[in-house]
């Protein structure tokens, strides 16, 4: 069978399953009694095994099958899995991830499962002698099924007979329930969920609230290993009779093989639970009644290739450009009908634009999901106790922003774990809890998204940073003595700078913070850090909601159009209404709320000054405000941004370009680069003493 057309779907779902498994295993390590997470692990592992086998990737299917046996240990331990068991499972997940990547790169799975399978089997053997945990049933399946039928749910009764040679019937029972759960809500099952560990029988029963066809459900059940026979029948209110099942089944005890003679008391222990669980049964039935609605919702959800979304966004951008051109052409034409038609066109295209933007939005949790595993591995390696808190996981961002956000956040998290948070003994000596706290939070702020990485560690020591800078020749001794926290933070963003004493696979190469700032600026965002000695450090990333269409103020500088993002503008003023002074040869703007550097737009962008800079735009860049003198404020525009070739953007405080209605290219101003110390020093001098300017953007565009 040719499965090539299903490959993109397989790769996407496999990555999703592996990421969810990583998160679930870490969660279960912290809370072994978390039954919903345990059930989720079984379902995901079973789905991954099935889809891998269908696609012909036998090594992945074989390794996942063995992992299911280890996951069964999670149900039998009262104190959770050992460190070695968790490490083994995570190593398997890493190997599976590498196999998926190799499939995408070359079409084959580069995976040798034998060593990992041996480690997994050793875990099973070492725990075989440990007693299983049993518990009494909490509800009556008769009440639950009856309640589900009363709500109008369609209930299927599934009876599965296991093979006589089955080695672990408890595992097969759980796998069967996981397979059936894919078709709807399990209203009830025998053996009861609480008694699966002690199950040694050959017959498994389940009542499923589902809209699926009986044959489809039967096929899913027979795909479970060691299932010899399956029957599926719809249950009706008139035909359902609780007394039809054996009494031992009715009280929720584990079903026994009639020939086995195995009587361990589990049936007697559950005999008194018939009436006590009526409320729980009703809750199960209510969940079953909603299964049809859930299935219907899933049917309305489709996977769309990211390239199609990008193409849709590109066409939407072209529509915005054409709409703007039409609006410009109709100005001054005295036809009310034409103006009304243009207004309708504008309204409809804006609604379409908003809808397209929403389609591209995905929750930032897609990025956050990787951090529980990362924090767990690094904290273990560093010998630190760390509590991770994730806030605002539902905050939505444009897909392109989310895709590029992962690496900067990883650098910030690694820095907090390695440099920020102290070892337990150091924290206790400082009067802090032994467990450090790392918080990653996301929230909307106007037209931007703010993501913060905060720790309660030792904070930044300016003197330590200064001494390291002096060793590298970045500062002299006098500058080190006067270095404050803000200056130390700025040094941390210097390429090649690190405070680590030794180089390791975690830090010490001096590429972390520089990469963070560079990447975030490429996304049109900014990075701001705050630190208090002994209390911790917070790094805040502010990003636009989308990179595709930005709301900007179009300005004119020496006859050329530029655009400043609206969310970076504080206000606009007339230069004649305020005082301008000179400090150390640099022009500054004196306002009632502070003194700001005043930059000449023509000097900044390498153009011949016109001398007509009466308008000033106050913008925010980094942690400072600056004034940019321009010739004209054209107006607010919705601009479709495009990346610039490096030859154009090199040395210029611009981050992108946009085509205007008249065909001109407006360059998007990079406010962070504009406010950098280097740019302020080179462009902020007196206009009569113009410093050497970089080649103009037009020169670069012509060369490109």
Give the 3-state secondary structure of residue 261: coil
Range from 552-556, 576-580, 623-627 that averages highest in pLDDT: 552-556
The residue with tokens 């049936």 is 267
| Predicted local confidence at residue 32, as pLDDT | 74
Sketch the domain layout of the chain as residue ranges: 4-128, 141-298, 306-363, 365-544, 549-703
Name the percent of the chain lying above pLDDT 90.
9
Instruction: For residue 156, give the nearest of 75, 56, 258, 232 by alpha carbon.
Output: 232
Q: State mean pLDDT over 673-693.
A: 55
Helices (H), 605-676: 646-649, 671-674
Helix then strand then coil, in percent of the chain rounded to 5, is: 45, 20, 30
**Which CATH class, in words, describes the domain spanning 306-363?**
mainly alpha
Q: State mean pLDDT over 69-73.
A: 72
Beta strands across the sheet bearing 155-162: 184-190, 203-210, 155-162, 227-235
- What is the spatial distance between Cα 303 and Cα 306, in angstroms, rounded to a whole number? 9
> How far is residue 378 from each of residues 22, 270, 510, measured CA to CA in Å?
15, 45, 18
State the chain's mean pLDDT as an integer: 76
What digits encode the pLDDT tens for the residues 460-478? 988 888 888 888 888 887 8
| Predicted local confidence at residue 249, as pLDDT | 38
User: Read out DSSP for 356-393?
Assistant: HHHHHEEETHHHHTTHHHHHHHHHHHHT--EEEEEE-T
What digits encode the pLDDT tens for the residues 278-288? 333 333 333 33
409 pLDDT more than 50: yes
Q: State mean pLDDT over 120-139.
A: 54
| Predicted local confidence at residue 141, as pLDDT | 55
| Predicted local confidence at residue 446, as pLDDT | 65
**Which CATH class, in words, describes the domain spanning 365-544?**
alpha beta
Model confidence at 421, in pLDDT bands (50, 70, 90)? very high
254 pLDDT more than 60: no
CATH 3.50.50.60, applies to 549-703: no
Q: In this predicted structure, which of 107-111, 120-124, 414-418, 496-500 has the lowest mean pLDDT? A: 496-500
Instruction: For residue 234, give the nearest of 209, 252, 255, 253 by alpha carbon.
Output: 209
CB 599 within 8 A of CB 678: no
> Which CATH architecture fits 4-128?
Up-down Bundle (1.20)
| Predicted local confidence at residue 563, as pLDDT | 92
21 pLDDT more than 80: yes
Range from 33-42, 126-135, 562-571, 574-583 that averages highest in pLDDT: 562-571
Name the percent of the chain lying above pLDDT 70.
78
**Which CATH class, in words, describes the domain spanning 141-298?**
alpha beta
Please list, in sequence order, all residues whose beta carbon lies within 8 angstroms of the beta carbon of residue 318, skipping any fewer than 6 positions away: 640
């Amino acid at each position: 069978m040719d499965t090539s057309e299903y490959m993109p779907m397989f790769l996407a779902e496999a990555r999703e399953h592996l990421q969810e498994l990583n998160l679930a295993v870490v969660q279960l390590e912290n809370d072994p009694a978390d039954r919903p997470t345990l059930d989720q692990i079984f379902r995901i592992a079973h789905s991954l095994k099935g889809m891998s086998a269908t696609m012909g990737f036998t090594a992945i299917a074989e390794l996942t099958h063995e992992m299911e046996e280890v996951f069964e240990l999670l149900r039998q331990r009262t104190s959770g899995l050992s460190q070695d068991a968790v490490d083994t499972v995570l190593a398997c997940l890493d190997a599976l991830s590498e196999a998926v990547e190799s499939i995408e790169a070359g079409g084959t799975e580069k995976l040798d499962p034998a060593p990992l399978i041996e480690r997994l089997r050793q875990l099973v053997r070492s725990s075989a002698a440990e007693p299983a945990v049993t518990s009494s049933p909490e509800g009556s399946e008769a009440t639950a099924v009856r309640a589900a039928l009363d709500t109008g749910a369609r209930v299927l009764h599934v009876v599965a007979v296991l093979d006589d040679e089955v080695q672990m019937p408890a595992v097969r029972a759980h796998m069967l329930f996981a397979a059936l759960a894919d078709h709807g809500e399990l209203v009830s099952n025998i053996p009861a969920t609480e008694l699966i560990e002690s199950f040694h029988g050959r017959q498994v029963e389940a009542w499923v609230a589902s809209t699926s066809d009986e044959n489809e459900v039967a096929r899913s059940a027979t795909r479970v290993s060691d299932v010899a026979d399956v029957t599926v029948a719809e249950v009706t209110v008139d035909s359902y009779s609780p007394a039809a099942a054996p009494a031992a089944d009715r009280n929720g005890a584990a079903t026994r093989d009639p020939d086995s003679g195995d009587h361990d008391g589990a049936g007697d222990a559950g005999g008194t639970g018939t009436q006590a669980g009526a409320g729980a049964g009703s809750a199960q039935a209510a969940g079953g009644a909603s299964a049809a609605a859930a299935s219907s919702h899933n049917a309305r959800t489709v996977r769309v290739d990211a390239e199609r979304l990008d193409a849709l966004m590109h066409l939407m951008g072209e529509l915005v450009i054409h709409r703007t051109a039409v609006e410009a052409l109709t100005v001054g034409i005295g036809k009310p009908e034409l103006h009304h038609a243009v207004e309708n066109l504008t309204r409809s295209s804006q609604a379409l634009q908003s809808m397209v933007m929403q389609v591209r939005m995905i929750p930032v949790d897609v990025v956050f999901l990787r951090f529980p595993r990362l924090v767990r591995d690094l904290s273990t390696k560093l010998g630190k106790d760390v509590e991770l808190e994730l806030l605002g996981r539902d905050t939505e961002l444009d897909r392109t922003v989310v895709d590029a956000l992962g690496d900067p956040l990883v650098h910030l998290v690694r820095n907090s774990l390695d440099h920020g948070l102290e070892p337990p003994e150091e924290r206790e000596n400082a009067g802090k809890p032994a467990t450090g706290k790392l918080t990653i939070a996301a929230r909307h702020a106007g037209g931007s998204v703010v993501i913060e990485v905060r720790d309660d560690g030792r904070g930044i020591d300016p003197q330590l940073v200064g001494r390291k800078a002096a060793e590298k020749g970045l500062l002299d001794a006098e500058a080190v003595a006067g270095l404050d926290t803000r200056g130390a933070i700025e040094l941390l963003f210097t390429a090649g700078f690190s405070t680590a004493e030794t180089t390791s696979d975690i830090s010490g190469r001096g590429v972390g913070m520089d990469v963070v700032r560079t990447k975030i600026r490429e996304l049109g965002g900014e990075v701001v850090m705050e630190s208090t000695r002994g209390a911790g450090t917070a790094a805040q990333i502010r990003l636009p909601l989308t990179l595709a269409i930005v709301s900007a103020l179009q300005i004119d500088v020496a006859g050329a159009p530029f655009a400043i993002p609206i969310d970076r503008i504080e206000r606009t003023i007339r230069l004649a209404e305020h005082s301008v002074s000179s400090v150390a040869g640099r022009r500054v703007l004196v306002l009632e709320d502070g003194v700001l550097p005043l930059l000449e737009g023509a000097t900044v962008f390498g153009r011949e000054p016109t001398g007509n800079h009466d308008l000033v735009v106050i913008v925010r860049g980094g942690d400072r405000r600056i004034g940019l003198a321009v010739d004209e404020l054209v107006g607010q525009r919705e601009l479709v941004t495009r990346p610039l070739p490096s030859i154009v953007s090199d040395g210029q405080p611009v981050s992108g370009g946009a085509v205007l209605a008249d065909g001109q290219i407006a360059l998007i101003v990079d406010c962070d680069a504009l406010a950098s110390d280097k740019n302020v020093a080179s462009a902020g001098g007196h206009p009569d003493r113009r410093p050497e300017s970089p080649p103009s953007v037009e020169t670069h565009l012509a060369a490109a």
